[in-house]
Chain A
Amino acid sequence: MKKKHLRILRNNLVLAVLAFIWLVPIVWLLVTSFSKYTGMNTSTFFPAEWSLQGYRNLLFSADSVAQFPRWFWNTFVIACFTCLISTLFVLMVAYATSCMRFPMRKPLMNLAVIINLFPGVLSMIAVYFILKTFNLTNSHIGLILVYSAGAGLGYLIAKGFFDTIPTSLHEAAYLDGASEATTFVKVVLPMSRPIIVYTVISSFLVPWMDFVYAKMILNSGISSQWTVAIGLYNMLEKSLINSYFTQFCAGGVLVSIPISALFVVMQKFYVEGVTGGAVKG
């Protein structure tokens, strides 16, 4: 019994040390956001004077550099449209490849694997020029298109889920005279809640997490157009960091809270969707 207690102590101690290391930067983010000093605090971990100034400036006194409410709204709108289009694309491709049989199915799927090998950042240069040709750079529509146009390629997880839906259900629907479209909308989709929620959240999160595409496409320097990511990145420019670091931390906290919440929910549905417990049998 003594040995067991020792092991419990040891395990939890190791975890406590690890958790401490992992959380130090996050705690620093949190405490710095409540600092009264606007720049980066370099001498002590905790701010010398506490205040809500950072949040107040960020939310209520937007200036040409920091327009956080505006960025938040921009990102939210972009995220909603991206989410809608991506989710539709993913579910459509997943249903076609999983539940239907047609001659080009295998070749298309193999092609998707090869295309997926080609990292998005590489083709970005060309995408940028295509958007520029159609005058879609520095517009949110361009960004939405970039985020969602290729979404169909990310169909594999949803396909894996649809694969677990027994064929007998399709046959039953078919015998009842349902068309393929009716089967998709009325039979398969209602059973696929976990994977739909997972797809919705993960595509909603893309514009919040992405930095590269936004920076490339919204490059005019007009800060009212930006998304949260580039806005916050810009606050840390060498000339701005001393007046905006606290606001950066406050913005980081504000944006992290909803994202973390969604992320945790998504994890839960991911596990549910992948293990597929809901539908088997």
Chain B
Amino acid sequence: MKKGKTGLSAFFGAVGGFFKEFGESVAKGDLFVKLSLVWMGAGYIRRKQIVKGILMTLFEVAVLLFSVLFAGQYVSKFGTLGTVQQESVFNIVTMQNEFNDYDNSFLILLFSVFSLIVWAVALVVWFCNIIAVYRLQKKAEAGEHINTFREDLISLINEKFHITLLTLPVLGVVFFTIIPLFILIAVAFTNYDQNHMPPASLFTWVGFKNFASLFGGGGLTSTFGYAFGKILIWTLVWAVFATITTYLGGILMSILVNSRYTKFPKLWRTLFVITIAVPQFVSLLLVRNFFADNGIMNTFCAAIGLTDWLREIGVISTSYIPFLTAPGWAHVMIILINIWIGVPYQMLIATGVLMNIPTDQLESARIDGATPRQTFFHITMPYMLFVTGPALVTDFVKNINNFNVIYLLTQGVFVTTDQMMASSQAKETDLLITWLFNLTQSYYNYKMASAIGIIVFIICAVFTLIAFNKFLKGDREEAYR
């Protein structure tokens, strides 16, 4: 990926330039620029930007206070994640049981990560501050106009409007995506599980132990390796089938609906779209009861003799068809039900794309005497793949993490009979993501859940990178213009 490389080198170039300017600022700056190294407001006050100088000083004081009063007590314990166990002590003065001054491992972890991020930001601000005051000095020496505070404020709705726009959204992402991400990565290297639940007890760093047991290492959780292998295979099989079936199904359905031999295309389209407009938690829960062991589908199958026939040829041993309750059956049913859910959606997308297909190509193919089949394989499909290729990749990743379909169809219905699976709190129909969810919700096994989470992320990231590099090479934007 050439673009990525130039992007990367440009990035490092920019970082290099940044530090170069910083060095120059420190070397060539006057006394006040050098003073800004310890007193961040100094350079501004020298140039009569009093308000900015005060704000910077306040910022510095705030960061220092934060470090001393708040961050210090947590970050200092980051190496051990706490050593003082919670204990109940009888206090003679108040005549009551009181807790000692205990450590909460999770709070230590959370606030340490938070403090490190605050410090990183403060460091960047500190670097930028030096550069900014040096620029001010150069401006002053050249006799240029120096902005008043009012003008600085106005620039925030003008050439610096992007700062105003991006601050809140970026903060949202930092707090609800990036900090959780770091914490998740950290937890995967600890022994945070139901035996080590803060505040009652402590947890601590264990290195790669969780990953070792996930990949079949020994210890009490030796079955995790077994469950992980099985679930990983099913996750990949599911993602491949779910993506391909709905993708092809969507294209075929779209061609059928939009064919010139079809009457009332809008009516048909609306009928199919209704099924996806119903929220998934309604439609999937409904379908799950439709196919329940004592559900209506089984009544129907028994009535037409299908159940008896299947029993005779030995496919099932029960008096009903275990659509969603036996491995194998459930796997096939989940993929089929996903077709039901996914195809209309893909049809909508395919319809949009197919409408934009260059008509001259279709026309010339028709004049050259191509059959509809040839047109489909040599013009329609290549075009579809070209336009929807990136979407296909993201669909695959989404299916790896398709929580709703699996959870709503199997939770509380499918019970595993495999002891090895059961002791890892897994079941055959689980995806990695639902397994992870159940591990945290019902078993408080956060360490393994986090380790699985990291593996899922690596799989998704590697797959996306390879797919974008290999199959969707280079800039082909012009190919169909």
Contacts and interface: CB of A to CB of B under 8 A. Distances in A.
Interface of A: 4, 7-8, 10-12, 14-15, 18-19, 21-23, 25-26, 28-29, 40-45, 89, 92-93, 95-96, 100, 102-103, 105-108, 110, 114-115, 117-119, 121-127, 129-130, 133, 145-146, 148-153, 179-182, 184, 208-209, 211-212, 216, 229, 232-233, 236-238, 241, 245, 248-249, 252, 255-256, 259-260, 263-264, 267, 271, 274-275
A10 B180 CA distance: 54
A8 B294 CA distance: 40
Contacts of B275: 22-23, 25-26
A260 to B, nearest CB: 4
B286 A22 contact: no
A118 B261 CA distance: 44
A42 B294 contact: yes
B295 A122 contact: no
Given A11-B261, A259-B278, 12 more contacts: A19-B272, A25-B275, A42-B294, A42-B298, A89-B168, A93-B165, A103-B14, A119-B397, A124-B437, A150-B172, A208-B279, A241-B289
Contacts of B401: 119, 121-122
Interface stretch (B35-43, B85-93, B205-213, B455-463): B455-463
B176 interface: yes
B157 A149 contact: no
A209 B280 contact: yes
Interface string B442-458: 00001001100100110
A264 B274 CA distance: 9
Interface of B: 7, 10-11, 14, 106-107, 110, 154, 157-159, 161-162, 164-166, 168-170, 172-173, 175-181, 183-184, 187, 253, 256-257, 259, 261-263, 268, 270-283, 285-287, 289-290, 292, 294-296, 298-300, 340, 344, 348, 352, 356, 397, 401, 403-404, 407-408, 412, 433, 436-437, 440-441, 446, 449-450, 453, 456-457, 460-461, 464
A8 B264 CA distance: 11
A259 B279 contact: yes
A236 B180 CA distance: 32
Contacts of B287: 25
Given A129-B106, A130-B179, A152-B169, A211 B280 contact: yes
Closest 6 CB pairs of A and B: A152-B169, A126-B180, A149-B172, A260-B277, A181-B157, A180-B161
A122 B458 CA distance: 12
B173 A149 contact: yes
A208 B407 CA distance: 17
Contact of A7 (B110, B261, B289): B261
Given A125-B449, A252-B286, A180 B404 contact: no
A40 B175 CA distance: 44
Nearest to B169: A152
Contacts of A100: 161-162, 165
B285 to A, nearest CB: 6
Nearest to A14: B256
Contacts of A124: 180, 437
Contact of A117 (B289, B348, B440, B461): B461
A245 B183 contact: no
Nearest to B177: A150
A263 B161 CA distance: 34
B118 to A, nearest CB: 15
Nearest to A20: B271
A125 B184 contact: yes
Contacts of A41: 296
Contact of B176 (A11, A22, A127, A208): A127
A88 to B, nearest CB: 8
A146 to B, nearest CB: 7
A148 B180 contact: no
B107 A133 contact: yes
A121 to B, nearest CB: 5
B457 A150 contact: no
A115 B282 contact: no
Given A93-B169, A126-B184, A153-B173, A40 B289 contact: yes
Contacts of B253: 18
A22 B272 contact: yes
5 contacts: A28-B290, A29-B278, A149-B176, A232-B281, A264-B277
A45 B281 CA distance: 21
B273 A264 contact: yes
Contacts of B456: 119, 122
B157 A180 contact: yes
A245 B289 contact: yes
Given A25-B287, A42-B294, A96-B166, A119 B433 contact: yes
A229 B279 contact: yes
A272 B177 CA distance: 31
Contacts of A209: 279-281
Contacts of B11: 107
Given A96-B161, A216-B441, A238 B273 contact: no
Most chain A CB inside 10 Å of its own CB: which residue of B11, B275, B287: B275
A227 to B, nearest CB: 10
Contacts of A130: 110, 175-176, 179-180, 183
Contacts of B450: 125
